[in-house]
Amino acid sequence: MGEPRYVGQRIPRVDGTTKAAGSVTYCPDVYLPRMLWGKVLRSPYAHARILNIDTRKAEEIRGVMAVVTAKDAPEEPYGIFTKDMYVLARGKVRFEGEPVAAVAAIDEETAEEALRLVEVTYEPLPAVFDPLEAMKPGAPLVHDEVRGKAKKDNLCAYTEVSLGDVESGFAEADLIHEDTYSTQVQHQGYLEPTCAVAQVDRTGHITVWTSTQGIFWSREQLADALKVPINRISVIGTYVGGSFGYKGSNVVEPIAAILARKAGRPVKIVFERDEDFRGGRPRGPQIMQLKTGAKSDGAITAMYGKIYRNSGAYSMQEAAMVGVTALLVRGPYHIPNLKVEAHGIFTNSVPRTSCRAPTGPQNSFACELQMDAIAERLGMDPYEFRLKNAIHEGDPNPWDPIVGYFGFGEHTPSIGFEETLRAATERAGWGKVRLGPNRGRGIACGAWDTTAGAPSSACVMLQDDGTVLVLTGGIDLGGLNTVLGQIVAEELRLPLDKITVVTGTTDSSPYTGPTGGSRMTYSMGYATLEAARDVRTQLLRMATARLEIDESRLQLQDERIFDRTAPDNSVTVAELSRASFLKGGPVIGHGSCASLPDAPVCPVQVAEVEVDPETGQVEVLRIVAAQDVGFAINPMAVEGQIEGGVVMGLGYALLEEYQYDQEGSMLNANFLDYKMPTALDVPPIEVVIVEKPSEKGPFGCKGVGEPPCIPTAAAIANAVYDAVGVRIKELPVTPEKVLKALGEKRDRGENTS
Amino acid sequence: MSEKLVQLMVNGECYELVVDTRRTLLNVLREDLTVTGTKRSCRVGECGVCTVLLDDKPVNSCLVLAVSASGKKITTIEGLSKGGPHPIQQAFVHQGALQCGYCTPGLILTAKALLDQNPSPTEGEIRKFIAGNLCRCTGYVKIVAAIKAAADQLLGEGR
């Protein structure tokens, strides 16, 4: 094939020019004739019985076309693993912000006015917000029953992972370290608000325009919520203004649909930012008790973890979350004896969903602070300690249970952890450069995967002019469509401007799972490459017949197929395409894959910080972020993902958390008080791309999008310890916590310099 | 409720309409004039997504009453593309400074205001000037690079 020409290139996003012109259509930009505006009434209480809802005054307002409550939605609950959720609250509310009613009116102001006139009579109930409190006998029950069966506690989900024998592992250890770590609620921070436009036609067919990570995923969930057959719903995915795991959580679509059905007109709902906080689905906080044993030479012998996830008020995907955290909290290390018990516990808080690498940053925070603590007690360099325990290709690894689950059998995934560790420390000058007073350096790693368990499919179609149309149902977040164009260009040896990648709707595209789990370039890329190869095969076959020479002499290059030994004997791709209309039929290639073997990714970051001992303020001076991407099909897009992920991790480390009052009401549901990093908060970030090819990914690629936000907080916390000798074990690392810890250190008579 | 006749000069075109005096410029641009390049996000002036230029100065259009913008020069992202993409838009595309693109219109206009008043900003000056524009996708790294690249190009062109 020769040197790659299109893959490995820094190609700007194919949607870049239109986005920079402000002319792509995001969901809030969708306008339909006779469209109404919907608004949602939300519970002000974290836990209450709904005694009565009176909508008459709201209905009487001029311009109000529909008011809905639970009786306008199915009686039966819906849900991904456990069906415990209602379109609008039924019987009681379980979190502040839970939707109770909704209004559709001719404009937003009228809808807001009508909302104020919906009268809901609540009976407040005792609420519980802390997961450990929620597990105590006598705690208020968030759910009294599930599927008709009485529930006696607030356990939402539970899973256990076990390997070897931890008791004997700890007996072998020369040192045992035990500690508790905790992380906070993080908002995905997408700038485009939650939005959907729903339209129900005369036959009852529902069409929804929505900002989602997965059009088929949204359709399935909407069908479940409304108890309507899947093929009676069409979903059109608009351009997404940021999502990071959240959009496609079926938060707004069912409400828009029942309003549209009742009003007989299309209805658009766009959340206010306050609603995206109180009524969204943020990253779940975790309390992690970790105990690790190691020998004096540094080899880890055992690890025992107990994880308590605050699951919020509804089950959502918690069953999967506890599974992921139980598997991956042990990090990218060789742990011969392991036991992890992971609990998801209901509380009267806003429900959770995926947020970029769900449970990843939480796991890394606990594991990496523990690794540093052990290294220190052993008198080992933190980098050397990690190197000693690093997993390698062929080792039993954390993803083995996943491999078993998907039935891959004899699969040894490529693992570039050691290479990444070396690359990060080398670039950071680890151990070589001394930092000044109150300055420190910290290292942290993560264990993640390219979640290849969802199917992908694609069509590559030759147009009459010899250009190519690539059709998928995959939503482009991190640059999918650009990368697919590069992959097809490489395979068909066509210039990029001859390839158009189109994202269809559920009515017009082949099925695919959602864009998430860092899987799209890997999985959709695989399917698209297969489709492109199908087209290539057909073209070569047609050319063989047309040029009357053996296929081995054919060369496909720059829109022509020619005889390598006599280049003038050629035919253009366009000619072949038009000929196919007369004989053989239009050239269509298809590609399709179910679960692909997983491709683990273990990011490594080194952070340098300066801590002000007077204020506790932590300033990050520099972050080196290394990641094994297998093969960087588009290095510019890869850098973009890593830089963005690191800054999201930085926010998680130092700035971001949901704050609540005693009644469970969110105090900082706005961008002023929920502090996301601005341009002034970002230190120099050095991206180090490591390439250790995967077995199945197109051109050896691995997933990129999630890993970069995983180790950042741990790296920063470890750097703070290196700087001023205090290890903050609760995120975020705020000046208050640093000052308090410094004070305690002084009180213990320890040197704080 | 009170209404007023306003003249909104948007990207060189004059629109005359009657608006409720409580409505914001953001709202009127998007809903009445259907000029939707200006995006809506927090609607309370905390994110910068809805930035437009009002008499060449960057403002959060969600905090400007439509009536107070009457008679003033309003530039939205659409206005920057007249006669082909502006160097700042081109720089954003070529430097990879946009991903989801939602913060992009507001950021590009903010960058224009910066480069109009300071054609050769330092990195620190750039970061300070765009501190009121949130971006969750890029981490700002390539945004700063794009603004620098655009500055260089504009200086080279003598603009």
The mean pLDDT of A347-368, rounded to a whole number, is 98
Q: Does B3 touch chain A (CB under 8 A)?
A: no
Percent of chain A with pLDDT over 70: 98
Per residue of chain B (159 residues), give pLDDT as tens: 799 999 999 999 999 999 999 999 999 999 999 999 999 999 999 999 999 999 999 999 999 999 999 999 999 999 998 888 999 999 999 999 999 999 999 999 999 999 999 999 999 999 999 999 999 999 999 999 999 999 999 999 876
Facing residue for B46 by CB, picked from A478, A644, A670: A670
Classify strands A267-270 and A36-42 as parallel, antiparallel or unpaired: parallel
Chain A residues closer than 8 Å to B142 by CB? 639-640, 643
- The band of A403, judged by pLDDT with boundaries at 50, 70 and 90, is very low
- The band of A451, judged by pLDDT with boundaries at 50, 70 and 90, is confident
Dig out the tokens for B72 from the structure: 């003033």
Facing residue for A16 by CB, picked from B46, B98, B105: B98
Q: Which residue from A266, A403, A219 is spatially nearest to A327, judged by alpha carbons?
A: A403
Q: Does B135 touch chain A (CB under 8 A)?
A: yes
- Residue whose structure tokens are 């893959």: A7
The mean pLDDT of A680-700, rounded to a whole number, is 97
Please give the pLDDT value at position A722: 97
pLDDT in tens, A635-675: 999 999 999 999 999 999 999 999 999 999 999 999 999 99
- Residue whose structure tokens are 């949607």: A15
* Alpha-carbon distance values, A636 to A642, A729, B21, B141 (Å): 10, 35, 46, 12
Helix (H), strand (E) at residue A369: helix A360-378
Q: Does B40 touch chain A (CB under 8 A)?
A: yes
Q: Does B29 touch chain A (CB under 8 A)?
A: no
CA A570 to chain centre: 48
Q: What gap in Å lies between CA B97 and CA B91, rounded to an integer? A: 8
HEC per residue, A95-122: CCCCEEEEEEECCHHHHHHHHHHCEEEE
Residue contact A646–B139, C-beta within 8 A: yes
- Cβ–Cβ contacts within 10 Å for residue A325, how many? 27
The mean pLDDT of A349-376, rounded to a whole number, is 98
Chain B residues closer than 8 Å to A478 by CB? 99
How far A29 CA sits from the closest chain B CA (Å)?
6
What average pLDDT does chain A have?
A: 95
Note the ipTM here: 0.98
Is there a contact between A507 and A232 (Cβ–Cβ < 8 Å)?
A: no
pLDDT in tens, A375-401: 999 999 999 999 999 998 888 777 766
| Out of A14-23, A139-148, A667-676, least confident range | A139-148
- Residue whose structure tokens are 């608004």: A39
Q: Does B81 touch chain A (CB under 8 A)?
A: yes
pLDDT in tens, B117-149: 999 999 999 999 999 999 999 999 999 999 999
DSSP per residue, chain B: --EEEEEEEETTEEEEEEEETT-BHHHIIIIIS--TTS--SSSSSSS-TTEEEETTEEEEGGGSBGGGGTTSEEE-HHHHTTTS--HHHHHHHHTT--SS-SSHHHHHHHHHHHHHH-SS--HHHHHHHTTTS--SSSTTHHHHHHHHHHHHHHHHTT-
3-state secondary structure of A428: helix
Residues 6+ apart with CB under 8 A from A176: A170, A291, A292, A293
Q: Does B155 touch chain A (CB under 8 A)?
A: no
Buried residues in A388-413 as b, exposed as e (16+ CB within 10 A): bbbbeeeeebbbbebbeebebeeeeb
pLDDT in tens, A84-122: 999 999 999 999 999 999 999 999 999 999 999 999 999
The mean pLDDT of A683-699, rounded to a whole number, is 96
As beta bridge partners, residue A473 has: none
On the question of pLDDT at A1 being above 90, the answer is no
Please give the pLDDT value at position A600: 92
